[in-house]
Amino acid sequence: MKIPAFTIVILFTITGYCFCQTKRDSEGYIGTIQGISFSQMDFGKKTKQEIFPGYSGGIMFVYTSAPGIGILLELNYTQKGWKIDPDSSERYYRRLNYFEVPFMTHIIIGKSKSKLVINLGPYGSCLNTEEEKTNIPDDSLDYVGYPANRIFDFGYCLGIGYEYCTKIGYFGIEARYYNSLTGIFIPSSEIQYFSSRNQVLTIGIKYSVRIFK
């Protein structure tokens, strides 16, 4: 689930530059995206984990310009976390509930009603609540019983999707990968992990309508 950060930065810079240089024929859209998230935690070392499902969805604003480049701003509520299953008798999972704001370059490929969409750029999120459930003793894993002590999460995301234009609006589906650049735990004498980064794949269904042209 890892994509080099410099690749995202380069692509974001190039498309952003192209957006600034083109003559604009602007359009604005507002809509919603609703879907499911699949999460794991990168601890910097091999850790047996299961894919942890959750909810991901919110509202979005799209501003586009010719020839098919624009920006996408979203406000989402996303559930992240991780789940481990060491053996048949031990269980552990932690759910992290975030308010998240992706700010991405929006690329549209195609001039017909059917279009390929690519979104890429940074995101920032704020931890709202967390939930931990386990039957593992506190001394088995050093994060058991310790809350996340870094509430802000920053990273990059890359999405690929499909949109179809109708008379009542735009319908679409998108798969998106989020990779955190910050850990939820700050290393200390109690927490030994120097990496605790969220890694999330979301799949969402989108609907938007044009609000200006």
Q: Three-state DSSP class for 95?
A: strand
Sequence spans of domains, the chain: 5-20+38-212
Q: Is 63 helix (H, G, I), strand (E, B) or coil?
A: strand
Tell me the pLDDT tens digit for each residue of 140-159. 667 788 889 899 999 999 99
50-91 pLDDT tens trace = 899 999 999 999 998 867 899 999 999 999 999 987 666 778
CA-nearest of 180, 182, 175 to 160 is 175
pLDDT tens-place string over residues 175-201: 999 999 999 988 776 666 668 999 999
Q: pTM (2 decimals)? A: 0.83
* pLDDT of the residue at 189: 67
Q: CA 144 to CA 142: how far, in whole Å?
A: 6
- Partnered with residue 52 across adjacent β-strands are 39
180 neighbors 154 (Cβ within 8 angstroms): yes
Q: Structurally, what CATH architecture does the domain formed by 5-20+38-212 represent?
A: Beta Barrel (2.40)
DSSP-based three-state secondary structure for 117: strand
